[in-house]
Amino acid sequence: MKHIVVLTGAGISAESGLKTFRDAGGLWEGHNIMEVASPEGWRKNPALVLDFYNQRRKQLDEVLPNAGHLALKKLEEKYKVTIVTQNVDDLHERAGSSNIIHLHGELKKAQSTLDPKLVYHLNGWEIKSGDKCEKGSQLRPFIVWFGEMVPLLDTAIQIAQTADIFMIIGTSLAVYPAASLIDYVPPHCNIYVIDPNLPYIAKRNNLFLIEKKATEGVVEIVDQLMSGLQ
């Protein structure tokens, strides 16, 4: 069974109505991104950071997976599929995909500030000041912030190396180290890049550029892969 590895970014979630991580000015709801997505921001104003991600969770509960998410689930009928996502939402899970790696963390989980190995599923949309882990430390969002290591990067690299088909959906390929995964794909591997604003990628064999949004381009390529046309 062929292995399809999929790298997804903010573009696929945006089509479900989720705001992308930052606007053209580098701000999200008026905040400098480093205020709410860095260890320094957390130390300076944990209440602001908690509220920021609480609002993200609240919004996430109001949206649904889109046709792009659902098409990726359909691929599992014929292929082994691994999704490596830069997104912290759970839309791939809710679409039914069974093998997902979250490089940048998961919005619906909390993490101990004392012991990073202590991670908890959240029942609601809030982490409150005073919510503590079993060792007595404040819980923080389970998010890989700027300046922090990406724990699952090595796993993602190993997976990319096993790809027969590699799909890149809704990402500018500007955020490293996730953007470097394409460098580990085997030479024989077909690469499909799907985005209405295609990122620059050096020409290579078996590279297919689809200048469409995920709800169109992913559905189109998945239909071709399922019918054996690709």
Positions marked catalytic: 104
Those residues whose C-beta lies under 8 Å from the C-beta of residue 226, and which sit 6 or more positions away, are: 74, 75, 77, 78
> Distance (Å, rounded) from C-alpha 156 to C-alpha 162?
10
> Distance (Å, rounded) from C-alpha 51 to C-alpha 118?
21
Burial class (CB in 10 A: 0-12, 13-18, 19+), 197: exposed
Q: Are 75 and 223 in contact (CB under 8 A)?
A: no
**Strands of the chain, DSSP E:** 3-8, 27-28, 31-32, 80-85, 100-102, 105-112, 119-121, 139-143, 165-169, 190-194, 207-210
Say how many C-beta atoms besides its own lie within 10 A of residue 61's C-beta. 10
Phi and psi angles of residue 121, each rounded to the nearest 5 degrees, phi first: -75, 140
> Distance (Å, rounded) from C-alpha 72 to C-alpha 87?
15
